[in-house]
Chains A and B, each alone.
Chain A
Amino acid sequence: MRSRTAPWVLLAPFLVLFIGTMIVPIIMAIGYSFTRVERSGLLGEAGIRSVFAGFDNYIAALTNVNFLQAIGRMILFGAVQVTVMIVAATVLALLLESASARWPGFFRAAYFLPYGIPGVIATILWSFLYIPGLSPIVDVLGAIGLDVDFLGPNMVLWSIANIVTWTYTGYNMLIIIAQLKSIPGELYEAAKLDGASSLRVALAIQLPLIRPALMLTVIFSIIGTLQLFAEPRLLQTMSAGITSEYTPNMSAYAFAFQYNDIGMAAAQSVIIAVAAFLLSAIALGVSNWTEKRR
């Protein structure tokens, strides 16, 4: 006889914490996004009031040039970086799992290592590799005549992309490898009997069967892109190209904690959350649709 209360008992600690630390604050944030502060007097000393602002904050956010540019930037970043990273992770996974690889354990460990290095520290390390005067890479490139400025306004976005790719490729690769290992051996046997080359095996058997893992990694990577904060913020002091509203998340932080405009910050955060939700839904939908077509 199934108990009615047992599942709720098991769920309780998680749910209580989840609701307390995520749901309640989100509701609060939504509430803030509909308010605005009004002041009278030179410095507000004659009165400060919070008033209902309707959709003003949302309209202001969506017409703010900087915020829109930040969103555009993230779309570009995501499109390129996520693709490069997932492709690299897949290729590396396939290579490592192929019979032609020596010392797969060592390589797997080497590729996964960056994941354990916190974004803050990874950025500090890479910044030392980007700063002219400190960076041996810049020196080496300079010696062969290539003058690269990793922190210049045109390149810095891709320098950030590099840090993110470096950190997460190994992690995504391991997810894909796990799914690869679940492919039954007899499929490979059959392919070998048919005389299929490694490439054919990869394209016809492995890629389709790792689709769920690919979907998972793509979705989490998209969400990660929309939350990009630590890396650009740390590079901000070193790069003329990074403004205080460079990514949508940085913009929300700036409005909340620097300009003290909580209503606007909340509106921006809500917009970012909705965008994350939509993009993930689209990714899932696309995946299901292509799946059905096969």
Chain B
Amino acid sequence: MRRAMKPRLSRRSALVGGGAALAAGLAACAPPNSGEVNAAPTIPAADGKVHLTYWAWLKDLQKVCDVFNASQDRIHVDATWIPGGNSGGYAKILSAIAAGGGPDIAQVELRQIPEFALAGAIVNLSRYGFDEQAPKFDPGALTQAQVGDTLWGVPQDTGPVATFYNREVLEGELGLAAPTTWEEFRETAGAVSEAGKSLISLDPSDGSHPIAWAMQSGAVWFRPEGDGWIVDMTGEASMRVAEFWDGIFADKLVGTGYGSFTTPWYAAAADGKVLASISGSWSDALAKTVPDGSGKWAVAPMPTWPDGYASGGHGGSSAAVASNSKHPAEAIEFLTWMCTDPAGIDAMIENSGIGWSPAKDYIGEVRKQPDEFFSGQNYNEEVIVPMAEGQNLDWTWAPLMQRVQAIVGDGMTTAVTGEVPLADLFADAQTEIVEIMRTIGLNAEEAR
């Protein structure tokens, strides 16, 4: 039997081989970037039939797309359900795009739009003439999809904040009225608290509330100037919000164990222990699942400051065109229909349960009626419309809102116990955020 002559694996050759593999590995190692689609020429509209894919976590979005698909035959849209943005949806979208694929259209919450733009993942819509469609949109919705003068997404719904409250207990049993100003809020919360109940209950780790309060107060935390950002979380408008809520937490006038529309909240609301939620207009659908609540609830405007805006923004999504899409022009055509045409709006409300309509002057057919659950109030027209019209149009979202919200949320948990008051938190967060912005390569400065 012949013995095969095999070269013995010498240490040296093993090391050299391993080293070469390592070097090759490291060389291939810059993480892939999304290309620079917004520097490349725009893609003209195609002749012939176009097929679009839309990744979103809206319920039954395909039914909305089908209304559009049936109304014409140039553009066909298919929807794919992905988990909610912060539950993994954004991760999927970003990694798919970074790897060269991904959908044509993706659902991106309004506050995430600049972050997606920064990642190079979405298309600059102004370059495709989307600005011409602007008059069809509600300004409060459109400005949230805008950075400077550039539009980056088609707003799909918003969440103008209002007060959703248990009228039967608050007015009937306790003889109090829904607060119209923050001063009244403080008094009412105190009275409710003395009666052994809570006016509202907050999840302290939810950074979206302080942001909505700051918006309403008139703050503009992130202002683009030139090619840099000014971060201002310590101006007067922000500080009065911080001090107000520090006072509320110190006197324990609101619940802080759980947030609105969580399981414990529903249990407490059903029992009449938690009386209200100050949150986006989409809260109406959620409030309706309070067991046995029909006819007992009502809607009131958000409590206000003497100056400042009528309301803030709490949630809301847009549809963004992804940077690997080959048909941005057609995507914009579809999305404009979906978000401004009455048929589109009605389909979205009926099937997908969206928040407040982004179309100017059209709130959706079903929302023009009085509502039995809310004590026969025509609350959409009477309350929410003014809220949507009284938004802070200067507000701009920053390209790192996930981190900002995490920082604010984590900070609120210490503010609630009094350890680090909001007043200090805002100042510390301002410094930290500017640092982070510089680390990710942006020009940023704290406001003077």
Cross-interface CB contact of A37 among B38, B203, B441, cutoff 8 Å: B441
Minimum C-beta distance from A150 to chain B (A): 11
A153 to B262, CA, bound (A): 17
Provide the bound-state CA to CA distance between A133 and B264, in Å. 5
Give chain B residues whose Cβ lies under 8 Å from the Cβ of A241: 205, 413
Segment among B22-30, B69-77, B302-310, B380-388 that sits at the interface with chain A: B22-30
Asked whether any CB of chain B lies closer than 8 Å to the CB of A200, the reply is: no
The smallest beta-carbon distance between B238 and chain A, in angstroms, is 22
Is the C-beta of B180 less than 8 angstroms from some C-beta in chain A?
no
Give A43 to B440 CA distance when docked, in angstroms.
11
Chain B residues with CB under 8 Å of A31's CB are 25-30
Q: Indicate if the CB atoms of B25 and A24 lie closer than 8 Å.
A: yes
B147/A43 in contact, CB under 8 A: yes
CA distance A258 to B94 in the complex (A): 9
A48 / chain B contacts, CB cutoff of 8 Å: 33-34, 36, 120
Using an 8 Å CB-CB cutoff, how does the interface string of A142-166 with B read, 1 for contact, 0 for none? 0000000100110000000000000
On whether A240 and B258 interact (CB within 8 A), knowing A42-B229, A48-B33, A259-B402, the answer reads yes
Residues of B within 8 A of A43 (CB): 114, 117-118, 147, 399
Q: Mark B84-115, 1 if CB is under 8 A from A, else 0.
A: 00101011001100000000000000000011
* Complex alpha-carbon distance, A60 and B440, angstroms: 13
A30-B26 in contact (CB<8A): yes
CB distance from A109 to the nearest CB of B (A): 32
Could you say which residues of chain A place their CB within 8 Å of the CB of B115? 260
A119 contacts partner chain B, Cβ-Cβ < 8 Å: no
| A54→B295 CA distance, assembly (Å) | 64
State which of B39, B228, B441 has its C-beta within 8 Å of the C-beta of A38.
B441
Least CB distance from B290 to A in Å reads 12
Number of chain B residues close to chain A: CB under 8 A:
62
Output the residue of A24, A34, A149, A244 with the most chain B CB within 10 A: A244
In the complex, B235 has a CB within 8 A of chain A:
no
A40 touching B31 in the complex, CB below 8 Å, given contacts A133-B268, A258-B86 = no
Main secondary structure of the interface of A (DSSP, over half): loop
Q: B144-160 interface mask toward A, CB cutoff 8 Å, 1 = contact, 0 = none?
A: 00011000000000000
Q: Pick the contact of A257 from B6, B90, B256, B413 — CB < 8 Å?
A: B90
Query: With A37-B440, A50-B33 as given contacts, are A240 and B266 in contact (CB-CB < 8 Å)?
Result: no
| Contact indicator A257/B95 (Cβ below 8 Å) | yes
A250 nearest CB across to chain B (Å): 11
B56 to chain A, nearest CB (A): 18
Q: How far is the CB of A67 from chain B (nearest CB, A)?
A: 13
In the bound assembly, the distance between CA atoms of A8 and B371 in angstroms comes to 74
Which residues of chain A have a CB within 8 Å of any CB of chain B? 1, 4, 24, 27-28, 30-32, 34-35, 37-48, 50, 60, 66, 131-134, 149, 152-153, 238, 240-245, 254, 256-263
The 8 A-B pairs at the shortest CB distance, nearest first, are namely: A31-B29, A133-B267, A257-B91, A39-B441, A50-B30, A27-B25, A31-B26, A262-B31
10 new A-B pairs (CB below 8 Å) besides A132-B267, A243-B410?
A27-B21, A42-B147, A42-B148, A42-B227, A45-B36, A153-B413, A240-B413, A258-B90, A258-B91, A260-B118
A-B contact pairs, 28 of them (CB 8 A): A24-B25, A27-B29, A31-B28, A31-B29, A31-B30, A37-B440, A39-B118, A42-B226, A44-B441, A44-B442, A45-B36, A45-B124, A48-B33, A48-B120, A132-B267, A149-B257, A152-B257, A153-B413, A240-B204, A241-B205, A243-B205, A243-B413, A254-B406, A257-B91, A258-B90, A259-B400, A259-B403, A260-B115
